[in-house]
Amino acid sequence: MYAAFALQYAHRSDRGYARRTNDDTSAVEELSLSDGRTIVLAAVADGIGSGRAGAEASQIAVATAFDMLRDHLVHAVPRTEHQWQQTLGGALGAANDAVRLRGLSTNRKSMGTTLMVTVVIGRRAHIVHAGDCRAYAVRPAVRRPHITQLTGEHTVVAELVDQGAISYAEANGHPQRHHVVRSLGSDSTIEPETVARTLRVNERLVLCSDGLPLHLSDAEIARAVSDAATPQEGCDRLVALANARGGRDNLSVVVIAATRATSRPLLPS
């Protein structure tokens, strides 16, 4: 029964045009379980810190989270949402400890990173994050693809919007729109957010750092992913479009598609 659906995926991280270094990290990894099921791990992270500190922080966070999840999931897959929350929260906690320890050992007090990690098993996607990376579900269509933002953003501006102090429209141009209030590496504890979604057949899960929505609207993201025949083409289209708008920030994106096992290629319905 596990072979009815197939997961196709790709990721890409790009420096953009304005930044001298790429502090983002993206990654996707596939695990095979003894019962025949396949698990896909995916992550995007946006590093914080001067010099190479941000890049190192994002790389450490992704590697640590993957290590913990890999070791845990090959032995026992959570069965309840509460168990998934504990497992994912533990992975983010371990990543936070690793980044914080590295910052202390190298005297880089500003070293930190945002992090979003997703575990997809079957068509069920479990997501955990801290910071301003985003997760979307895109339902392809020829005329008007549908896009849903699955996660909130842990920023000063997002809190102001939630409080009613500013409007959603005002948030886009606010000078503090990139100031995160949750990140890894600064405190001994981390407060992660977890969400889950069952992907529809041919639906795409998109993870991205904040550099992508800085340049593209949700509708443009949906259109680019919907028009792409494969997840890799979707990643390439998104990065190319963002860079064509100036590439003012680092860009990282992951695209995962749940398809019927015999469907090739991916095309809008």
Phi/psi for 65 (5° steps) reads -60, -45
- Domain positions in the chain: 2-260
- The tens-digit pLDDT sequence of the chain (269 residues) is 444 678 999 999 999 999 999 999 999 999 999 888 899 999 999 999 877 999 999 999 999 999 999 999 999 999 999 999 999 999 999 999 999 999 999 888 789 999 999 999 999 999 999 999 999 999 999 999 999 999 988 565 555 445 555 545 545 554 555 667 789 998 999 999 999 999 999 999 999 999 999 999 999 999 999 999 999 999 999 999 999 999 999 999 999 998 887 655 565 54
CATH number, span 2-260: 3.60.40.10
Burial class (CB in 10 A: 0-12, 13-18, 19+), 120: buried
